[in-house]
Amino acid sequence: MPAGPDTVGDMKYAIEAEGLVKRYGDKTALDGIDLRVRTGAVLGVLGPNGAGKTTAVRILATLAAPDAGRALVGGYDVTRQARKVRELIGLTGQYASVDEKLTGPQNLLLMGRLLGLSRSEARTRAAELLARFGLEEAAGRAASGYSGGMRRRLDLAVSLVSRPRILFLDEPTTGLDPHARGELWEVVRELTADGVTVLLTTQYLEEADQLADDLLVIDRGRVAAAGTPDELKALAGGHRLDVKPLHAADLEKAEAILGAKAVDGVVSIPVHDLAEPPAALRALDDAAIVLAEHALRLPSLDDVFLTLTGDPR
């Protein structure tokens, strides 16, 4: 027997998917994805554009049916028990899906009424969410006049009217400025503190590093790696040496000496032995390459991404 909504908190995994496949015509968007999200945790799904992140979210949020594989959300099958799943989830899409002709309060009121709240309950809930998301000032304006950050906050607020226990955030901060991004991160942290399970897709490694307990890297519809941020960083090796030649003309020579490709004018190599950096720097010096900067650092998720997908974001 599948568990009821009130038992989501007792389940080990709020979201479980096995072998998800989705094709659009002759294009394979998902080519067998397995994923699990621990109840109350944040899973960050990372991948370049077109990796299949949004397709995976659409399947888990009952918007698309998988061609193969199965998925349980809150213990319910997403295809056969879609309605049960819908009672548990909230979705904030990559593109804000609020009604732009309605004001923020009207959007929130609409959701409350659709979910069966009475007029006064819906009003109260709308007022709560407006205050929480700092949207009170814009209350009289249609959402089409909101800034990108405000619209995204409203979109998130709208998906929280039902107090979902499981929340899908599909690239929630794409296109936002750093300030608006930080504000959204704060909200996600508050939600997870309340025990909400979050599946978050992002192209920003920093975002995943900030918010996610577990990470899944997908590339071309397949899982490239899974683990905690620390585990994934370990995949990229220990320390790294970054060198940046002063003259762009020296970049190719530096690449040849160090045996690595440059990204944004910086050549980065894994360091296995602390005797390696001085040797590498000497080799560059012998080749008369002047460096603008060099640094020894711990690997970032960018390095993981590069190692796994062979693609500098």
Measure the CA–CA gap between 44 and 212, rounded to whole angstroms: 5
- Burial class of residue 256 in the structure, from the number of CB atoms within 10 Å of its CB (0-12 exposed, 13-18 middle, 19+ buried): exposed
For residue 72, the Cα-to-chain-centroid distance in whole angstroms is 20
State the minimum distance, in angstroms, from the CB of residue 140 to other proteins: 9
Distances (CA, A) of 48 to 217, 232, 312: 9, 17, 9
Structure tokens at 267: 């050549």
Q: Name 293's bridge partners.
A: 244
Q: Smallest gap, in angstroms, from Cβ of residue 216 to other proteins?
A: 21
CA distances from 58 to 93, 114, 143, 203, 310 (A): 9, 21, 24, 17, 26
Shortest distance, CB of residue 15 to other proteins, whole angstroms?
A: 14
Measured N-to-C along each axis, helices 104-114 and 119-132 cross at an angle, to the nearest 10 degrees, of: 130
Amino acid identity for residue 118 in this structure: S
- The residue among 107 and 202 lying less far from other proteins, judged by its C-beta, is 107
- Smaller CB separation from other proteins, 158 or 289: 158
CB closer to other proteins out of 115 and 258: 115
* Tokens 């390459």 found at: 289
Pick between residue 101 and residue 272 the one whose CB is nearest to other proteins.
Answer: 101
Report in angstroms how near the CB of residue 123 gets to other proteins at its nearest: 14
Binding residues for other proteins, rule: CB under 8 A, are: 61-63, 65, 83, 86-87, 89-91, 93, 95-103, 106, 110-111, 113-116, 142, 158-159, 162
Tokens representing 183 are 């504000």
Question: Which residue number, 143 or 180, has a Cβ lying nearer to other proteins?
Answer: 143
What's the min distance (Å) between Cβ of 86 and other proteins? 4
Q: Which residue's CB is nearer to other proteins, number 144 or number 228? A: 144
Closest CA to 243 of 228, 226, 264, 223: 264
Least separation in angstroms between CB 87 and other proteins: 5
